[in-house]
Amino acid sequence: MDNLADILELDDANGPPQERMLQILSEACRLFATRGFEGTSMRDIAAECGVSKATLYHYFPDKDAIVRPLVMGTTKAIYGQVSARIDPAAPAVERLRQFMVETATFFERHRWAWIAAASVFWNDPQARRRRQRIEWRDRYEALLRDILRDAIERGEFRPVDPSLAGRLVLSTLNWLPRWYDPSGPLSAAEIAEQFHAMIVQGFKPPRGRGAG
Amino acid sequence: MDNLADILELDDANGPPQERMLQILSEACRLFATRGFEGTSMRDIAAECGVSKATLYHYFPDKDAIVRPLVMGTTKAIYGQVSARIDPAAPAVERLRQFMVETATFFERHRWAWIAAASVFWNDPQARRRRQRIEWRDRYEALLRDILRDAIERGEFRPVDPSLAGRLVLSTLNWLPRWYDPSGPLSAAEIAEQFHAMIVQGFKPPRGRGAG
């Protein structure tokens, strides 16, 4: 089960998260992630949780009420967890490594919630919530671009375009939850570690060696 | 409108593609891409095309019959178009550039079809078709891994792990259709060109310069 209690953004109306509520959210995000938001009904969620539809409706009036804490929660939590684990005194190249490894670790812990949130994002009917989500997402992406800009200023990186370089780094991370195999030989963090080394060093051999 | 006629994998039962059929497929893939496969009904597709439901059913008995030529078509077509445009006599580093630029160009031309196909893939009820699709996808990915292995053997690249390096390259491309803005300053091919340079050179400045 996902560590959902750490990351949920519950409405005050929901009250403190209860075990049953967390179970519902956890099963729902696995269903949303694998069948899509539109492909999952309240009936499916109730069946998967082994509860009656009446019990389900006691906690959540509709699918939107289930998905809202997931979407806002994952977006705020990834910013909070990643930014808290970056050492501001470290060289920029090391901060980039921390950003990548912590993002991958977050994806590994909250894989279903993340895929569910990403796949429902465009279906979220609440535009205000969507704007809020974009603000938190922008904050997370700014974290990365600041590291890249700093790395270029200090001469740790070549003068690459920070915005496009940021897209490259985010792409390697954002695609990870879709192909990553939790039973494979490498953890998500180890993959991020290797991606970091590849991106920083490049594929070319060091000068003076090879045909490059 | 998407250049769908180039890439569709129509059943014999469909006969040669007719203009109306292509219009339906084109509108349907835009709807699948933006609302999800499950979130789009036959009624939505008919309304979007400005045809009656009877006319729609004349061409396609259900949504699966619409999505099947899209899923198989895009997967075979990307392999066909990318592999045909790689110069086997070029250095591996240049072949990697061709692979990346041609993939991005394909995404640019067939953006809706690609997103639709990717988002419905897991909902495709026909397991045999799914296996076929995976075979074509594997062929496309093998193309990339062969280039990387060759680059390492020739000393054009450092001995990176070809499988993980391939994932890195594919991630930068696969995420592109989701964030790419067709009205932005760079074409998808130009972005792929810059990603190629970043991946090959790395972010670090050349030896002897900078703090890296």
Q: How far apart are CA A88 and CA A24, in angstroms?
A: 38
Least Cα separation, residue B70 to chain A (angstroms)? 19
Report how far residue A16's alpha carbon sits from residue A106's, in angstroms, rounded to the nearest whole number. Answer: 23
**Is B194 within 8 Å of A164 when comparing Cβ atoms?**
yes
A203 touches chain B (CB under 8 A): yes
Assess if residue B212 is contained within a domain: no
A115: closest CA among B30, B122, B63? B122
In the numeric block, the tokens 């550039």 are attached to B97
Choosing among A95, A203, A204, A209, which should be mutated to test the B contact, i.e. which has the most B CBs within 10 A? A203
- DSSP per position, B79-140: HHHHHHT--TTS-HHHHHHHHHHHHHHHHHHTHHHHHHHHHHGGG---HHHHHHHHHHHHHH
Specify the CATH number for the domain of residue B193: 1.10.357.10
Cβ–Cβ of B203/A205 closer than 8 Å? Answer: no
Token code pair at residue A197: 């080394």
Q: Which residues contact A96 (CB under 8 A, 6 or more apart)?
A: A144, A147, A148, A151, A169, A196, A200
Write out residues 46-75 of B within 8 Å (CB-CB) of A.
Answer: none
**Considering the domain boundaries, does residue A80 fall inside one?**
yes
Model ipTM value: 0.85
Looking at the domain assignment, is residue B208 inside a domain? no
A212: in domain: no
CA distances from A18 to A23, A59, B127, B140 (A): 9, 10, 39, 47
Measure in Å the smallest separation between the Cα of A190 and chain B Cα atoms. 11
User: Residue A131: its pLDDT value, please?
Assistant: 81
Helix axes A42-49 and A19-35, enclosed angle (nearest 10)? 120
pLDDT in tens, A60-107: 999 988 988 888 889 999 999 999 999 999 999 999 999 999 999 999
Q: Is A125 on the interface with B (CB under 8 A)?
A: no
CB A49 within 8 A of CB A23: yes
In a domain? residue B211:
no
Do the Cβ atoms of B74 and B177 come closer than 8 Å?
A: no
What residue of B is the nearest CA neighbor of A41?
B38
User: Please, how many CA atoms are within 13 Å of residue A3, restricted to the half-sphere of its CB?
Assistant: 9
Q: Is B187 on the interface with A (CB under 8 A)?
A: no
Selected residues 134-163 of chain B with any CB under 8 Å from a CB in chain A:
151, 154-158, 160-161
Does residue A210 belong to any structural domain of this protein?
no
Domain extent at residue A168: 4-201
Which candidate, A79, A75, A78, A77, places its Cα nearest to that of A120?
A75
User: Which contacts of B12-17 are long-range, i.e. CB under 8 A and separated by 24 or more positions?
Assistant: B14/B59, B14/B69
Q: Are A109 and A182 in contact (CB under 8 A)?
A: no
How many angstroms away from the CA of A93 is the closest CA of chain B?
8
Q: Which residues of B touch A171 (CB under 8 A)?
A: 171-172, 174-176
A151 in a structural domain:
yes
Q: What is the pLDDT along chain B (212 residues), one digit of tens a residue?
A: 457 777 776 655 556 567 888 899 999 988 988 887 878 899 999 999 999 999 999 999 999 889 888 888 899 999 999 999 999 999 999 999 999 999 999 999 988 888 888 777 655 556 566 788 889 999 999 999 999 999 999 999 999 999 999 999 999 998 898 888 889 999 999 999 999 999 999 999 986 554 44
Contact indicator for B81, B3 with CB cutoff of 8 Å: no
What predicted TM-score, i.e. pTM, was given to this entire model?
0.87
Task: Judge: A155–B211 Cβ closer than 8 Å, yes or no.
Answer: yes
What total number of domains does chain B contain?
A: 1
**Residue appearing with tokens 């074409």:** B187
* CB neighbour list of residue B208: distance below 8 Å, 6 or more residues apart: none
- The residue whose two tokens read 């060759």 is B150
A99 domain-assigned? yes
- CB-defined contacts A:B, below 8 A: 163
